[in-house]
Amino acid sequence: MAFYSTSRIIAGLLVVLWSGRLYAANGCFSSIISFGDSIADTGNLKYLASLSEDVGFPCDPPYGQNFIGQSTGRCSNGRLIIDFLAESLGLPLIPPYLSIKGSGSGSLMAFRQGVNYATGGSTAMSSSFIEAKCGESIVINGTLKDQLAWFKQSLPFICGNTNSSACRNFIGHSLILMGEIGGNDYNLPLIRGRSIDYVQSYVPLVIDSIVSTINELIKMGAQTLVVPGNFPIGCFPSYLTTGVSGVSNNEGYDPITGCLTKLNEFSEYHNKMLQTKLNQIRELNPNVVVIYADYYNALMQIYYSPDEYGFTNGALKACCGGGGPYNYNASIRCGDASTILCDEPDKYVSWDGVHLTEAAYKLIFKSLFQGQYTTPEFYSLCPRTSTSKGTVISSSSI
């Protein structure tokens, strides 16, 4: 939920001043630079999986089935939030850094309109930290620190010397999408039996890691950053099926949505702490626009009224999964021979029990970037993304 303060009001006024200058310069943004995990990954995990059998599931078909004739590595049946955002800004779909970095500097020149470092399975914290919290060895596919390093390594091919005015101009005219990131820092221990209280104890460290990266990008010239919060994971079929330590199967369900209340309260805790830190960044950097993207409530509106938004086959059931009341089985991945695949994905919120369908991502995009689920509201910064100011039009194609 949003927290309003004098600093936030000032930030909103600065957006009006800054957006006028930026919008006049290039019609919003010249590119998108993306960091995060599978919520934003457009193919980095798929590339890593092609190099090593130790890398996690690469989201092969039926993932990406809406992209006819190709396997994109997106962990959904179609487009993600970042895809709809790029389309709305008149930019091409943002390519994954790892998949074409080996093609030479000529290919990297294409990154001038956007580059995506987000990688499925990524965490905000280091691999050693996550392994310690889980109590076992885990392969992490590109932590946030790794992604920032990749970004710095690619800059010479895109704009020259990292500290040059050309690079600062490129970064300053780019929309920086910071995630979603941090979810896997919690998911990995939770699915291994760690309690919510145990995981919640290190939320401040996860937030500090995200904030540290934001501060580094601001030092490099970033002027506009979108920082998403975490989703209401208590509504995800994966958790509804497997449960979490300390929460009984007979208690803790929201009577309206059917979601696990304690898990959603945990996500809200992360989001509140993140917003507090973002306010501090705004106060220290009054000329930088830092936008909080309320992924939590943009998705919760669907769970409260799924039929209203066209999700008539149940908001809590996965389209592609291993059966059961939520069509989820941790031992059966979407795409396995025994997978149960729905006929109408657009009527489902969840694609595989962990990730969402294209239809859900589209509605979330509209709520965020054409609606009122960002602070400050994004459409005031970039009116180009909306045909009806502040209104979520429908779930039809952009």
Identify the pLDDT of residue 216. 98
- Per the CB < 8 A criterion, the answer to whether 311 and 348 are in contact is yes
- Residue 73 near residue 61 (C-beta atoms within 8 A): no
Q: Catalytic: 270?
A: no
Domains with residue ranges and CATH for the chain: 6-312+371-377 (3.40.50)
Rounded mean pLDDT of 356-366? 98
Reported confidence tier of residue 290, pLDDT bands at 50, 70, 90: very high
| pLDDT tens digit sequence for 142-165 | 899 999 999 999 898 888 777 789
Q: What pLDDT sits at residue 244?
A: 83
Q: What per-residue confidence (pLDDT) applies to 393?
A: 30
CB 8 within 8 A of CB 377: no
> What's the mean pLDDT when you consider all of the chain?
87
- Cβ burial 157-180 (10 Å sphere, 16+ → b, else e): bbbeebeeeebbebbbbbbbbbbb
> Going by C-beta distance under 8 Å and a sequence separation of 6 or more, which residues neighbour residue 347?
310, 311, 312, 313, 359
Pairing of strands 340-341, 374-375: unpaired
Residue 172: predicted pLDDT: 96
Residue 167 φ then ψ, to 5°: -70, -40
Other CB atoms within 10 A of residue 23 CB: 15
Q: What is the pLDDT of residues 13-28, one digit of tens each?
A: 333 333 333 332 345 8
Which pLDDT band, with edges at 50, 70 and 90, does 394 fall under?
very low
Q: CA 66, CA 351: separation in Å to the nearest integer? A: 12
pLDDT reading at 338 higher than 90: yes
Tokens 């029990």, residue? 353
Helix (H) or strand (E) holding 292: strand 289-293
From the candidates 37, 185, 346, 352, give the one annotated as an active-site residue.
Answer: 352
Lowest-confidence region among 90-94, 169-173, 254-258, 388-392: 388-392
Nearest to 278 by CA among 227, 203, 333: 227
pLDDT of residue 33: 97
Structure tokens at 188: 């990995």
Tokens of 64: 């990406």
* pLDDT over 90, % of the chain: 72
Question: What is the DSSP secondary structure assignment for residue 308, as one 8-state letter?
Answer: G
pLDDT tens-digit profile of 205-219?
A: 999 999 999 999 999
Classify 394 as helix, strand or coil. Answer: coil
Share of the chain above pLDDT 70, in %: 86
pLDDT tier, 101 (very low <50, low <70, confident <90, very high otherwise): confident
Adjacent-strand bridge partners of 99: none
Selecting among 38, 174, 209, 367, the annotated active-site residue is 38
For residue 71, pLDDT beyond 90: no
Active site residue 355: yes
Contact 263, 244 (CB under 8 A): yes
264-268, 326-330, 379-383: the lowest-pLDDT one: 379-383
List 76, 355, 367, 386, catalytic entry? 355
